[in-house]
Amino acid sequence: MTHGRAVAGMLLVTLMWSIAGVVTRQLESARSFEVTFWRSLATFVCLGGYYAWAHGRSTLALLRAGGRPLWVSSVMWSVMFTCFMVALTLTTVANVLITMALAPLITAVLARFTLGHPVARRTWAAIVLAGLGIAYMYGQGVSSEPQHVIGTLVALGVPIASAINWNTLQRSGTSVDLVPALLLGSLISAIVTLPLSLPLQASVHDVGLLGLLGLVQLAIPCVLAVRLARHLPAPEMSLLALLEIVFGIAWAWLGTSEQPSMAVIVGGSLVLGTLFVNAWVGLREARA
């Protein structure tokens, strides 16, 4: 695969990832944990069908081969699935996506203490500036709209789980395929959230939309991302992944009139600008 095609593929992946917010806003009766349950179940069914078609009976052998790192990764993915969808029911799409964008910075800090990896000065500077951007975004929301603050705290579970996931796999020294971890993670998420979703209230319309998310927003793009990771360096993938935030906010704005506040625009621009510069410099260093 050429570099240009890999970049185009990653753009398609970020576009598919970004539809979660606008689709969730179209739900009629499904709320909170039930939203997570149906999307996770749909993801498990889709990925399970993919593995049954591609690997057949050898699927169980692939799962066993992952060992402990695979299970740790699966649990972290289940946390990400759950926190992401619950957060979307509590606060705006922009708040959730910008909070999730902190994952690379949290990963770098955690790697410093668990793996002994040095953190570049530019990354420390990025952490400070991004923190200021987040603080500015939610400074007024603490007193006026506490639900948004709760939603942000729930969304923070996504980058934290992502950081733990990555550092655990790095420390194990084992290469774990992302797709089996996604398969088990979606199953764990569905099992955990089912009791919290009862009694189920989702309409057929809601189940259809959440099934669409499970297939188009998670299963397909995540499988594509695994394949594209073989052709794109990590810094470049992280840089392109930032487009999910831009696309997601734009979808919510155009599709549901969920216009970001001025505080979100200013604070979010500081966060995204900081992450972009940090990722861009990292990519140049990697190429050099």
Q: Using the structure block, give the residue that is written with the tokens 């179940």.
A: 41
Q: Are 32 and 89 in contact (CB under 8 A)?
A: yes
Instruction: Encode burial over 184-214: b for 16+ CB neighbours within 10 A, e otherwise.
Output: bbbbbbbebbbeebeeeebeeebbebbbebb
Angle between helices 178-197 and 220-228 (to 10 degrees): 150
Specify the number of domains making up the chain.
Answer: 1
Query: Three-class SS of residue 231?
Result: coil
- Give the model's confidence band at 143: pLDDT under 50 very low, under 70 low, under 90 confident, else very high: very low
Please state, in angstroms and rounded to a whole number, the distance separating the CA atoms of residues 187 and 47: 10
C-beta of residue 93 within 8 angstroms of C-beta of residue 258: yes
**What's CA 205's distance to the chain center, in Å?**
25
DSSP state at residue 216: I
Residue 9 confidence class, pLDDT cut points 50, 70, 90: confident
> How would you class 28 by CB atoms within 10 Å of its CB: exposed for 0-12, middle for 13-18, buried for 19 or more?
exposed
Residues 6+ apart with CB under 8 A from 13: 221, 224, 225, 228
Give the model's confidence band at 8: pLDDT under 50 very low, under 70 low, under 90 confident, else very high: confident
Asked whether residue 177 carries a pLDDT value surpassing 70, the answer given is no
Q: How far apart are CA 222 and CA 20, in angstroms?
A: 14
Q: In the structure, what pLDDT confidence band is assigned to residue 83 with cuts at 50, 70 and 90?
A: very high
- pTM for the model stands at 0.80
CA distance linking residue 70 with residue 175, whole number of Å: 9
Domain of residue 282, residue span: 3-287
